[in-house]
A = this chain, B = another copy of it.
Amino acid sequence: MMKKKILFKEPIFKECANIRTYRPRQEVYAKGVERSVRLFSLKQEHNWSDAEFKLALKAINDEYSLALHNVMFVPALERLTTEQQKAKWLPLARNYQVVGTYAQTELGHGTYLQGLETTATYDATTEEFVLNTPKVTSIKWWPGSLGKSVNFAIIQATLIIDGKKYGMHPFLTQLRSLEDHKPLPGIGVGDIGPKLSMNHVDNGYLILNNVRIPRENMLMKNAQVSREGQFTSRGPSKGNYSAMILVRVEIVLWCFISLSNASTIAVRYSAIRRQSKLDSSQEESKILDYQTQQYKVFPCLATSYALFFISKTLRNRYTRIHAEMMKGNYKNLPEIHSQSAGMKALASEMTVEVMEVSRQACGGHGYLAASTLGDIVIGAKSLITVEGENTVLYLQVARYLMKRFAAAAGEEPLSGSTDYLNKDPNEYRCPLKSPRDCRNVGLLCEVYRFRAYVMIANAAKKLQRDIEAGKKQHVAMNDNLVQLVRAAKAHMMYCMIKDYNESMSQLQTSLPVANALHYLQVFFSVFNLIKNGGDFLETEAVGLSQMEWLKEVEVQMLAEIRPDAVSLVDAFDIHDDALGSVLGCYDGNVYERMLKSTENEPLNQSDVHYSYHQHLKPFLHKNNPSKL
């Protein structure tokens, strides 16, 4: 609350999305820089903790240019440096004496890290690394804030000593002068051009041509190069993963933020808009009273709440395992790696899907830029491909599951998210014995678990059969990728439902609130089950009568959610200025705001547009309209 008061009295944070639409790229970016600087200054001024700062960022929907400094640069410094490096660089970064980003992806390579082509060659004579992007495909491409904003970057490059390759390592590299911000010698840096959204961020490219950095700028927590060029590794460089995992955990939270914005707009507009008559003796009905509209808008609302609770559980799990890792205990790294990858993938996929349906539920008006709904959906689409493309992430989960499934046959019982692979699934076969059972989130969770088990087992068996039939390992793998992705999704969906239940069971609140949240939870579980009905029937996790009951419960939940829908979005407490939507403001004055918004359109600056005189008039007059 405090944060919002501080932020939204400043004009730079009040500007609504509708106005931003009219700005050329140059100004969009400049406003993003201005916002960044004001945010950082407010943080210093009010001495905000990291947690408080995050609340402020959430209040303005993370719309500022230098986001990567906080999200990637500082956490990477924290995780990849020696104590000595930490002492030098962390204060500089935390006090904004330098601003940085993290540069890994290249024009020709993303998720496949071994394919990255940037090199850092050690020169023992000067005790420097020489950095190069040797080909067009090696050019660093995509890192946020890289193009124009930052003066430092942590660059992932293949280490070469005496012609021998030592894998990928992080190199802290100064890109621009601290005096005048000019690119340093050998560095070509710029913006990669407009994206579908988030054009206030200068995603950049980086060309390195014999750029020299001191030996000490290799971030050496996990591996060292001595003055003489001696390479020593402190075991597998697992620490590299931690920052990456953190961002994926964060993305689940960003999904919630997007969803809460989208559902606020869609629910509020649906409570104002009227169309046709449910009862012909009455006035036109609010569209939110139609079952079909509820069925399009409530999945977005329910997924908002679901991801709020799920992201909490995931975050707690990450914090616990990260602490272990900082102490050198990497036992749970594969588990959190797989969980964060899978949650990121499933959360972003679900988010975009339910938000888009909500946008469509606003009819044509949802297609107006002034609704901001479109921009929210398009913005969230980036989450599907950033920080690990979703299909690749699902396949990582699938490979983990195949290993765990094989291990389940061993002596030691499995723990963590895959513990259920220990058991005979028939122990928990189809627990839904009545329509009432279909409202029981515990039993529904068991249904998800059963389906996941069978799909994982089937995929493992199919793979095994193909190999036994003589297919090479890599051919068998490729021939089963689609099935493996399906199994991974089934597992992650079960994990989500389980984490949701866990988080909710700890919640202490009043009865009416608990009821409202419970309906959302049941709806979320049932909706996603029915959406994947084929899987559940095929695995015999449910039968035909159960599916019929579930469909009944699904529409019952719509009716249960309806009375609380507006309050449930009001509870997100999103400031009108942050929402910036003509359709979704708190006061419900939709149509007046829409008409008013046309005043901002440059085409309306004159009654007759200049193109009439240039193009249309000569053509029409040639065709002789005076005959009319």
User: Which A residues are within 8 Å of any B CB, using their own CB?
Assistant: 18, 21-22, 24-26, 29-30, 33-34, 36-37, 40-41, 92, 95-99, 105, 107-112, 114-115, 136-137, 139, 141-142, 147-149, 151, 178, 180-183, 190-196, 202, 205, 273-276, 278-280, 284, 289-293, 295-296, 356, 360-361, 363-364, 366-370, 374-375, 378, 381-382, 384-386, 389-391, 395, 472, 474-475, 478-483, 485, 530, 532-538, 540, 544, 547-548, 551, 554-555, 558, 591-592, 594-595, 597-598, 600-604, 607-612, 614-620, 623-628
Contact = CB atoms under 8 A, between A and B. Distances in A.
Given A374-B378, A530-B534, A591-B137, A97 B609 contact: no
A390 B205 CA distance: 42
How often does this chain occur in the complex, in copies? 2
Contacts of A534: 530, 532-537, 547
Contacts of A395: 292
A273 B392 CA distance: 15
Contacts of A483: 551, 555
A559 B471 CA distance: 15
B374 A360 contact: no
Nearest to A31: B611
Contact of A29 (B190, B609, B625): B609
Nearest to A189: B607
A374 B384 CA distance: 13
A181 B608 contact: yes
Contact of A195 (B142, B293, B369, B628): B369
A301 B364 CA distance: 28
Given A30-B611, A290-B478, 7 more contacts: A114-B276, A147-B603, A192-B594, A196-B378, A289-B478, A292-B391, A533-B534
Contacts of A193: 18, 21, 368-370, 597-598, 600-601
Contacts of A382: 367
B533 A276 contact: no
B609 A292 contact: no
A96 B367 CA distance: 30
B369 A194 contact: yes
Given A33-B616, A278-B474, A385-B360, A547 B555 contact: no
Given A275-B111, A385-B367, A607-B183, A625 B97 contact: yes
Contacts of A105: 364
A275 B367 contact: no
Given A24-B24, A25-B603, A195-B367, A628 B598 contact: no
A77 B148 CA distance: 55
A558 B482 CA distance: 11
Given A364-B105, A547-B538, A625 B478 contact: no
Contacts of A554: 482
B617 A181 contact: yes
B538 A533 contact: yes
A40 B620 CA distance: 10
B275 A485 contact: no
24 contacts: A22-B25, A26-B602, A30-B610, A34-B614, A37-B618, A40-B619, A92-B625, A96-B619, A110-B275, A112-B284, A142-B364, A148-B609, A148-B612, A151-B620, A180-B608, A193-B368, A193-B370, A195-B368, A196-B374, A290-B481, A291-B482, A292-B481, A537-B537, A537-B538
B136 A592 contact: yes
Contacts of A107: 591, 594-595
A190 B601 contact: yes
B190 A97 contact: no
Contacts of A367: 195-196, 381-382, 385
B378 A360 contact: no
A485 B292 contact: yes
A121 to B, nearest CB: 23
A33 B92 contact: no
A574 to B, nearest CB: 21
Nearest to A34: B615
A33 B607 contact: no
A276 to B, nearest CB: 4
